[in-house]
Amino acid sequence: MAFMRRRTFFRILSLLAVSLLVRLLVAAPSPASSVSSLYTADSQEIRKQGVLDLVTRSDKPLDARKHKFLQARMGRDERPDLFTDMIRDGLVDYWERYQKPYIVGHDTAHMDEQTVFSAIEQLLTLNGWVAALCPTLTRPFGQNKYEDAYEDLAKQDYLYYIGMVIHSADHFLVDQLAVIVQLAKRLGPSNLFVSMLDYDSSDSTSTLTDLCEAVLTLLGVPFRIRRVPGMTEDPLAAYYPLEEAHTRNLALEPLHELYERRNIKFHRVIWLKGFTCPNDILETIKISVVNEAAMVCGMDWAEHNGFFIFSDRWRTRDINGDQFRQSKSSSISTSPLTSVPPRDAVGAQRYTQHLPFQVFCCESGTHVVDPAQSYYAGVVYRSGTDFHNASTPTSPLTREPEAKCLDSAQAWFCRDLWVAKAREGLHAIAPEAEAHQSTRVKRADDDNDDSSVPIVDEEPLAPRQPQAAQQEDLDANAGSDYDATDLPLADPPPSEADEIDRFTIPNMDFLPARILVNPRCVTTYAGVSHTQLALDLFGPPDSDEREGMVKGKDVLEQWQGAPDTFVCQEQQHTGGRRAAKTQRRLSFSIHKELEEVLESS
Ligand SMILES: *[C@@H]1O[C@H](CO)[C@@H](O)[C@H](O)[C@H]1NC(C)=O
């Protein structure tokens, strides 16, 4: 083990060396620095020699070798420090005396080509620390057994967009890079675009993003790595949901630019958070495709006193709008239906079978979004605006009981997905509705004449299950996912059914958003024993075969409408990521949301 660690360590060191070299080769020109212009001159010289033209050119839209703008670095942290001059002199000296003569020399140039070739070969085996374990971890339905299980995805030649927002999380970054390299290997380097946003990190993220730049450049993977300052000088004057929305929208900027200016459309957007195995991501993409899902999330697990608990409860709500339980990973084998994370009966049942289940909202680490049902349809990340700025002398606003929920940007995103889907349904049936001279939104099964109307919920909706008895509080300040901590202790009581406004169209009459959780996609944070976690969640290898579980029910047959109420956990004032959260149960009416959209447009 120590040997392995050391080897990996040296590999990382050699990567860092390569990264410095590549910085010399490709450094972006910056007028302020004379050294930069030196780099630029050299980089043109190198390009003339064709050193970087190693991967065969193609007519792919995302061919980074052909289109230089596809690999961009913005806002690099170039503030001088104590060693800046010394390092720069050393680099220039090494470059002038050893590298450059070798690269441009007639008799040595071909050897250099070989060196770069083998560097790329080496990079493709980059497996990180945790990622190296992935193929050995237990997964249901033999996911890890078949090497070619994801060949079909690769053959389709679709484009995938990887979004990352990094805020002082350097301990993940090398493994996340390893995951990206593995995905590039499977899906093809010019089928990916990597957007990394470094939001005001104060740890070694900026150095590691240099490493990412070097690796992605050599592999020909298009990217934009961008560093932006914090929204406020004082982190405690920041409003976290606003920061979330801001950074995610920034990370999506290249997606919109590529679409608007080059007409390049991505098939799926993969948000990498924490650590997730490459195969789990590929499988989640497949589940997203077969279900035509707007979003499919993994589940994230954090270490807690030697066991693992479901972690991202702030942003996750089951299809009844209830909060997930903070279950242990082993809950599946104890008293499954009352102790697993989702509280709703259908979700709990499917969770125990390791099958994807529908939810009202999720994020849970790595998640896959269909941009056609979201970003390309105009959905952006946003947050509440009437929060109290505790850094100002003003007193807090009094808020109405039904005031908008001041929760996470992701929770807003989920509600927006429900509303967007409902609008899509409205557009599809608008001619019908006009013909009937009625404002009532019709369901497809009301209209027996037109089966082409794309409304999915042909079956009557399943009745809502009553909430399971409230559990003993497990919500101690636990786990390493900050966002999930500091949640209020008890859940708010279930709402009274007759509180619901009778004058609005019930949510279940609208086309349902397809938001799913894939329990086989595991996201983790620091300190997790992955082998144990996998055994807890999925049992020993092949246990599903012994228990007669079969894959193949990954496609949901029945989709439910949005819940009429949900558990709203809000940060009502500034105070950064760890500002206190309060909670209330709030009604959710797609009809009202649609009316607001109409009024504001
Ligand atoms: C809160 O007020 C402070 C001081 O006026 C300001 O610097 C900060 O940007 C404000 N925070 C937000 C989120 O608007």
Q: What is the pLDDT of residues 391-403, one digit of tens each?
A: 999 888 788 888 9
Q: Which atom of ligand 1 is nearest to the CA of 574?
A: 13
C-alpha–C-alpha distance, residues 84 and 87, integer Å: 5
| Mean pLDDT within 549-560 | 85
Q: How far, in Å, from the CA of 392 to the mean position of ligand 1? A: 7
Q: What pLDDT shows up at residue 4?
A: 47
Contact 222, 190 (CB under 8 A): yes
C-alpha–C-alpha distance, residues 555 and 569, integer Å: 31
Q: How far, in Å, from the CA of 574 to the mean position of ligand 1? A: 8
C-alpha–C-alpha distance, residues 404 and 595, integer Å: 15
Out of 95-109, 481-495, 535-549, 557-571, pick the least confident: 481-495
Q: Which atom of ligand 1 is nearest to the CA of 234?
A: 7
Closest CA to 529 of 4, 138, 10, 12: 138
More confident call, 220 vs 437: 220
Q: How far, in Å, from the CA of 355 to the mean position of ligand 1? A: 44
Q: E strand or H helix at 428, and its extent?
A: helix 409-435
Q: How far, in Å, from the CA of 243 to the mean position of ligand 1? A: 12
Residue 294 — very low, low, confident or very high, per pLDDT cuts 50/70/90? very high
Q: How far, in Å, from the CA of 362 to the mean position of ligand 1? A: 29
238 lines ligand 1 (CB under 6 A): yes
Which residue is closest in CA terms to ligand 1's atom 10?
237
More confident call, 242 vs 12: 242
Find the DSSP H helices in 99-169: 100-104, 109-124, 151-156
576 lines ligand 1 (CB under 6 A): no
φ/ψ of 273, rounded to 5, equals: -135, 145
Q: State how beta strands 223-228 and 71-74 pair.
A: parallel
Q: How far, in Å, from the CA of 391 to the mean position of ligand 1? A: 6
| Predicted model pTM | 0.81
Show Cβ contacts of residue 350 under 8 Å, excluding neighbours closer than 6 positions.
Answer: 356, 357
More confident call, 271 vs 333: 271
239 lines ligand 1 (CB under 6 A): yes
Whether residue 288 is predicted with pLDDT greater than 80 in this model: the reply is yes
Distance of CA 500 to the CA centre of its chain: 34
Q: What pLDDT shows up at residue 307?
A: 87
Residue 475 — very low, low, confident or very high, per pLDDT cuts 50/70/90? very low
pLDDT above 90: percentage of residues in the chain: 50
Contact 327, 342 (CB under 8 A): no
Q: How far, in Å, from the CA of 206 to the mean position of ligand 1? A: 26
Which residue is closest in CA terms to ligand 1's atom 2?
391
Q: Which atom of ligand 1 is nearest to the CA of 232?
A: 9
Summary mean pLDDT of the chain: 81
Residue 464 — very low, low, confident or very high, per pLDDT cuts 50/70/90? very low
pLDDT above 70: percentage of residues in the chain: 75
574 lines ligand 1 (CB under 6 A): yes
392 lines ligand 1 (CB under 6 A): yes
Q: Which atom of ligand 1 is nearest to the CA of 233?
A: 7
| Mean pLDDT within 58-71 | 84
Q: How far, in Å, from the CA of 578 to the mean position of ligand 1? A: 16
| Mean pLDDT within 473-500 | 48
